[in-house]
Chains A and B, each alone.
Chain A
Amino acid sequence: MKDIIFNVFLLLTVIPCFWVALSSNIVHAAFSLLITLFGVAGLYVLLGADFIGVVQVIVYIGGILILIIFGVMMTQRGKLLPLSIQLPGKLFAAVLTGVMLVALILTSTKSLWPVAFVLGEPQPTSAAIGDLLLGKYLIPFEVASVLLLVALVGAVLIVRRSVGGE
């Protein structure tokens, strides 16, 4: 049963992912990215990471993807240029990523990982993650919050100066 659900989310993740990489229409690519991100959220939940799955849906699908789709729609005017590079460069990229993919797959299937013999039942994770964030990982947590604030102010400044400040 677990295998079937895993395979459903696997296909939901991987097939639209090819479309993101290969589509010649940027809007199709953006909506395929939505399905991919949703599939990854399903995989997180399947791995027992309920909190991360919900955060993935809220931040990626509710935030980042909306931003990307707005960006696509606001930059569609003007001359239409091809979305990807021409053939020789494409071939080079395909060979490079193909070699890398084969190496990664061989590494991940042939290595002897120290896997637990008996998988425990997934436990609720929110409380434990909260303890870790405000205990062991307090400094990275604070740095991330400062980073988000700086990114927020920086993004507003960059856009204001170029669009509104003339």
Chain B
Amino acid sequence: MPYSLPSFLVVSSLLFCLGMYTVLTRRNAIGILMGIELVLNGAGLNFVAFSRFLEPSQTTSLLSGQVFTLFIIAIAAAEVAVALAIVLSLYSRMKTIDVDEFKKLHG
């Protein structure tokens, strides 16, 4: 594929859709977390690709896209830390991380 904006958008769509498929089909809680990482990476790649290729304008700096990718990375770090803490505490209580088993949690 050529080095152009649509190619990068296709790559990030692939990352997003495979991440979504992972989230939908995994029963392992950590597998679901990996899917979320893929989705977030697709979004970040989109931001950076647009900040590289779009026409610069007077009002906004093109680097804004890269700043938003930085925020995405920070939020991903926070999310993984909390999610793994929850997974480990559930594991120590229920001896499994299969999300189907967590149905017992309601009520």
Contact among B35, B53, B70, B98 for A115, CB-based, below 8 A? B53
A125 proximity list for chain B (CB < 8 A): 63, 66
CA of A140 to CA of B68 in the docked complex: distance in angstroms?
10
| Pairwise interchain contact B81-A67, C-beta atoms closer than 8 A | yes
B86 to chain A, nearest CB (A): 6
A131 to chain B, nearest CB (A): 9
CA of A26 to CA of B29 in the docked complex: distance in angstroms?
11
Closest B residue to A17 by beta carbon equals B18
Q: Taking chain B's interface residues, is the majority helix, strand, or loop, or is none over half, making it mixed?
A: helix
B44 proximity list for chain A (CB < 8 A): 40, 52
- Partner-B contacts on A (CB < 8 A): 2-3, 6-7, 10, 13-14, 17-18, 20-21, 26, 29-30, 33, 36-37, 40, 43-44, 46-49, 51-52, 55-56, 59-60, 63-64, 67-68, 71-72, 74-75, 78-79, 81-85, 89-90, 93-94, 96-98, 100-101, 104-105, 108-109, 113-116, 119, 122, 125, 128-129, 132-133, 136-137, 140, 144, 147-148, 150-152, 154-156, 158-159, 161-163
